[in-house]
Amino acid sequence: MPMHNLQSWTRLVLLVMLLPLPACATDFVVSSPTVEGRVIEQETRKPVADALVVVLWKGHAGHSGTVCYRVETATSDAQGAYRIKAWEQPAPGGAPLSRYRLPMAYKSGYEYIASDKDTVYLKPFTGTPGERLNYLRRVSSASGCASAGESEKNLLPLRSALLEQARQLADKQTEQEEIEPFLFQVEALEFGYEVAERRQIERIRSRK
Amino acid sequence: MKRRLSILLIGVLTSVDAYSYELATHARLTETAYTKSVLGDTQFLKAYGIDATDPEPFGIVYYDVSGAEVKERQRDAFERKFMPDSTLPLSVQGWLLRGAIREDDWTGIDVPGCQLHAENPQDDKLNRPGNHFYDPIYDRPLTVAFGLGEKAPNWGLGTSNFPANPPPPDAARRNHCTVLDAREAMYRALTGKRNGNTDVATTKDERNKYWATTFRALGDVVHLVEDMGQPQHTRNDAHSGVRGFGHACIYSTAHRAPVANDYHLRSLT
């Protein structure tokens, strides 16, 4: 290829590469309109009341891909409906691209199946107590929102509900060890990570 | 020429950036590596005087060692946020995970028209991720017209010539969490001395800080091993997390690394 063609080619490629750059320059605030959705039992299509709905807002930012930058919770009413108020906040670490929200729901005796836009589908849980305990661990992991800042505290109702159910399910002999991760998550939101860390260490040492 | 250009343009416009492993994913990979390695055997660690059943065997401080300069650093709540719920954050495993999480530290971007702020602590003011690439076909680091970082094996081993046997230490290295640093910290933890037999840690507390340093540095190295297992770290693929920023890659495909949290949401079903 002649040199002048190669230079034009390179310039063109560079130009195309740089086109998306303005996307990270202009958008320093993230927001959400009011979210209204429903929690429904998958098979019967009946509404599920008193389900704890957790909505995570995520996007792509920085080097490490997806960030979860906001979390809100709500409880479904008798019609299975839930509502989360509109909000606006500074963008975490810049402007996440490809932003999306991810609703899920938790209710004792049920398990999450899927969500379609803002409709969340649950079904009755039919496993053993041990399987339920594992399920609670997965719910705890899945609802994590590391870059949520102050809104992370909105997870407290969910974390408390998970702890309460874990206490009911845990084997009496190993109860303290089994509920430890759930208790840590509750205390991290109540007292901060460092205090929660210290309390956890003291509990474990006192059991040894 | 026009046809080639059209094909090129279509390729560029329809290509999808590859994403790195997320911090939570690195943490989970490292947790599994720990469990399956000899470190998961409490008797193995006991032989080194470490009580791996203790939730806090070393305390909360580790060292950043650069030649004769030794700076104290503390664990940070940032790290705990990406650990699995079951991990005890100040255990041996916790320290390993801290390194695996912090190896992706970067300083953010602050250029006219584009500002991205890094959430991680800014201890060493390094853009570490740029050093997590090595393309063995072309023997090159992350490259956009020119090399943007060190070759990952050099970065992880603390050398400037990793194929040499043994690789010579790079005394001017900015990365203080290399295999060399982990080994030196372990030596100091066990003996209380530095190479050359000068006393550097005369109390148990000081030796414990070197143990924390050992596992923190080892965690950083494990992070690199995990990255090297991904195609996009060995093919010079677009990888910045911001489409078009850093480098676009006409041959990259939608090869997206697992996303820990979303994966676990799917795993609920």
What is the DSSP code string of chain B?
-HHHHHHHHHHHHH-----PPPHHHHHHHHHHHHHHSGGG-HHHHHTTT--TTSS-SS-SEEEEEETTEEEEEE--HHHHTTS-TTS-TTSHHHHHHHHHHHTT----EEETTEEE---S--SS---GGGGSB-BTTTTBSSEESEE-S-BHHHHHHTBS-TTSSSPPB-TT-S--SSHHHHHHHHHHHHHSEETTTEE---SHHHHHHHHHHHHHHHHHHHHHHHHHTSGGGTTT---SSSTTSS---TT----PPP-HHHHHHHTT-
Which is more confident, A92 or B90? B90
How many pairs of residues across A and B have Cβ atoms under 8 Å apart?
A: 160
Q: Is residue A18 part of a domain?
A: no
Determine the 3-state secondary structure of A88 from DSSP. strand
Which pLDDT band, with edges at 50, 70 and 90, does A118 fall under? very high
Q: Which domain holds residue A45?
A: 26-207
Does residue A14 form part of some domain?
A: no
Task: State chain A's mean pLDDT as an integer.
Answer: 86
Q: What's the pLDDT band for A91 if we cut at 50, 70, 90? A: confident
CB B18 within 8 A of CB B238: yes
Mean of pLDDT over chain B: 84
More confident residue, B124 or B158: B158
Q: Is residue A10 part of a domain?
A: no
**Which pLDDT does position B118 carry in this prediction?**
80
Q: How far is B205 from chain A (nearest CA, A)?
A: 18
B189-to-A181, B93, B149, B196, B254 alpha-carbon distances in Å: 30, 17, 31, 15, 45
A137 contact B CB<8A? yes
Does residue B263 have a pLDDT over 60?
no
Residue A126 lies in a domain: yes
- Given CB atoms, is A167 within the 8 Å cutoff of chain B? no
Residue A102 resides in a domain: yes
B242 to A112: CB separation less than 8 angstroms, yes or no? no
Lowest mean pLDDT: which of A6-15, A122-131, B101-110, B168-177?
Answer: A6-15
What is the per-residue pLDDT for A202? Answer: 96
Q: pLDDT: is B264 or B156 the higher one?
A: B156
* Residue B122 with chain A: CB contacts under 8 Å: none
Q: Give the mean model confidence (pLDDT) for residues A84-94.
A: 84
**Which chain B residues are within 8 Å of A104, Cβ to Cβ?**
265, 268
Between chains, do A63 and B106 touch, taking CB under 8 Å as contact? Answer: yes
Q: Determine whether the interchain pair A5/B269 forms a contact, defined as Cβ–Cβ distance below 8 Å.
A: no
Cα gap A145→B24, rounded to integer Å: 11
pLDDT, one tens digit per residue, over B5-25 is: 676 666 555 554 555 788 999
How many domains are there within chain A? 1
DSSP state of A47: B
- Contacting residues of A for B7, CB less than 8 Å apart: none
In a domain, A19, yes or no: no
A192 at the B interface (CB within 8 A)?
A: yes
Select the residue of A23, A138, A147 nearest B264 (Cβ to Cβ).
A138
Kindly provide the ipTM of the predicted complex, given to two decimals.
Answer: 0.80
Best CA proximity match to B19, nearest among B261, B269, B248, B255: B255
- pLDDT band for A49, please (50, 70, 90 cuts): very high
Does A1 reside within a domain?
no
Tell whether the model's pLDDT for residue A110 goes beyond 70: yes
Q: Evaluate whether residue A2 is within a structural domain.
A: no
Please name the member of A9, A58, A92 whose beta carbon is closest to the beta carbon of B119. A92
Taking residues B34-47, report their average pLDDT: 93
